[in-house]
A = this chain, B = another copy of it.
Amino acid sequence: MMIRFGCDYQEGCHPRILERLTKTNMEQTPGYGVDPHCERAKELIRKAVGLPEAEVHFLVGGTQTNTVIIKSFLSPCEGAVCVDSGHINVHESGAIESTGHKVLPLPGTEGLLDAAVLRRFLEEFHSDPTKEHRVQPGMVYISHPSEHGTLYTRRGLEELHAVCAEFGLPLFLDGARLGYGVMAPETDVTLKDIAELCDVFYIGGTKVGALFGEAVVMPKAGRIRNFRTLIKQQGGLLAKGRLLGIQFETLFEDGLYFEISKHAVRQALRIREAFEARGIPMLYNSVTNQQFPVLTQEQYDRLARDFAFDFWEKTEDGRLATRFCTSWATLPENVDALVSAAGML
């Protein structure tokens, strides 16, 4: 049978979540996320990010979360600045534009937004005598890890924060894979750093152990009026909201979120090492749970017999860049098999 490394949402959820859902199943709670489980999960998250006053909301999925946040922070003629490979720019079917806002793409550096690039764009914009006829930059969107598995440094984040502050732009961090970022061995960015340097961010559950769910954190509570109504309007207010509370309770009450993230990254780095040991280069310098080996057609075909993985893009010299993902659910023995297969390429 095929062993799958195609994405980080191919299994259900961490078994402890299912156990908890089963145990609480017949509890009767009010709907829409105003129940004791959500309250407790919010407390746990406030604690984890080190902000006892932060506002926390739970949504179902990433595209939905990006859309709600961006439409909430922007006025109608403003757009969201991001790197050209940003998820909102390429893989959300125009969700951001569907709410009336342009995505303003800048060239990325391995999927990351460089503060100098951002500053140059903003300076150019503000020196343009026709800027009134352009979309106004209204916020900055970044992902950590990026779509390429790369990570900001603490210094890189600080610089972005500084440019954003100077130009009055909120900084929004998409953390769909946040666990895999903060638990990477090389990173110097903690969850608390993110909470300190961003105006809004979210902690992804869908790709990190939950059935579904993203926890939005706004360090400065009350910044957006009627945020729950905005979630509802976008179809993101889950009727049985406690399902989100129960999942994040489980993930954050004793460090499960971090533990499973660490596991996934460790397995991913084993994969990377195995490929590199065979002289197979990586497309991006990812230090998280996604790895991008560049294979020859022959290598590709041989691996594809036993393993499922993503074709990513064709390189200029005709080789095939691929993506292998690990997750909380990745079995070490499956990685053993892949490592062994890579060793024979």
**What is the interface of chain A, defined by CB distance below 8 A to chain B?**
2, 4, 6-7, 9-13, 15, 18, 21-22, 24-32, 60-65, 67-68, 71-72, 75-79, 90-95, 97-103, 129-130, 132-136, 206-207, 211-212, 225-226, 228-230, 232-240, 243, 308, 311, 329
CB proximity of A111 to chain B, nearest CB, Å: 16
A-B contact pairs, 27 of them (CB 8 A): A2-B28, A10-B28, A10-B30, A11-B27, A12-B21, A12-B24, A15-B25, A21-B211, A61-B235, A62-B239, A71-B76, A72-B75, A75-B226, A76-B99, A76-B233, A77-B229, A77-B232, A90-B134, A91-B130, A93-B232, A93-B233, A95-B234, A97-B97, A133-B229, A136-B229, A212-B238, A212-B240
Given known A-B contacts A4-B28, A136-B226, A63 and B95 have beta carbons under 8 A apart: no
Q: CA A169 – CA B108 in complex, angstroms?
A: 31
B31 with A11: CB separation less than 8 A: no
B102 with A100: CB separation less than 8 A: no
Stoichiometry, as copies per complex, reads: 4
Given known A-B contacts A11-B26, A132-B93, A239 and B226 have beta carbons under 8 A apart: no
B21 with A18: CB separation less than 8 A: yes
Q: Who on chain B is nearest to A25 by CB? A: B12
Residue among B25, B101, B311 making CB contact with A11, cutoff 8 Å: B25
Given known A-B contacts A24-B12, A102-B97, A212 and B239 have beta carbons under 8 A apart: yes
Residues of B within 8 A of A329 (CB): 26
Residues of B within 8 A of A130 (CB): 91
Q: CA A239 – CA B325 in complex, angstroms?
A: 15
Residues of B within 8 A of A12 (CB): 21, 24-27, 240, 243
Given known A-B contacts A21-B12, A132-B93, A238 and B60 have beta carbons under 8 A apart: yes
Residue among B32, B79, B133 making CB contact with A232, cutoff 8 Å: B133
Q: CA A44 – CA B67 in complex, angstroms?
A: 33
Q: Who on chain B is nearest to A130 by CB? A: B91
A102 with B91: CB separation less than 8 A: no
Q: CA A132 – CA B103 in complex, angstroms?
A: 19
CB proximity of A315 to chain B, nearest CB, Å: 15
Q: Closest 3 CB pairs between A and B?
A: A64-B235, A12-B25, A93-B233
Q: CA A225 – CA B21 in complex, angstroms?
A: 37
Residues of B within 8 A of A232 (CB): 63, 77, 92-93, 95, 132-133
Q: Who on chain B is nearest to A24 by CB? A: B12
Residues of B within 8 A of A132 (CB): 32, 93, 226, 228-229, 232
Q: Who on chain B is nearest to A35 by CB? A: B10
B100 with A100: CB separation less than 8 A: yes
B9 with A95: CB separation less than 8 A: no
Q: CA A12 – CA B71 in complex, angstroms?
A: 31
Residue among B18, B72, B78, B135 making CB contact with A76, cutoff 8 Å: B72
Give me 6 other A-B pairs in contact (C-beta within 8 A), A28-B308, A132-B228 excluded.
A12-B27, A61-B239, A77-B230, A92-B233, A97-B97, A129-B311
Given known A-B contacts A134-B91, A234-B98, A206 and B239 have beta carbons under 8 A apart: yes
Residues of B within 8 A of A206 (CB): 239-240
CB proximity of A136 to chain B, nearest CB, Å: 6
Residue among B64, B79, B92, B234 making CB contact with A97, cutoff 8 Å: B79
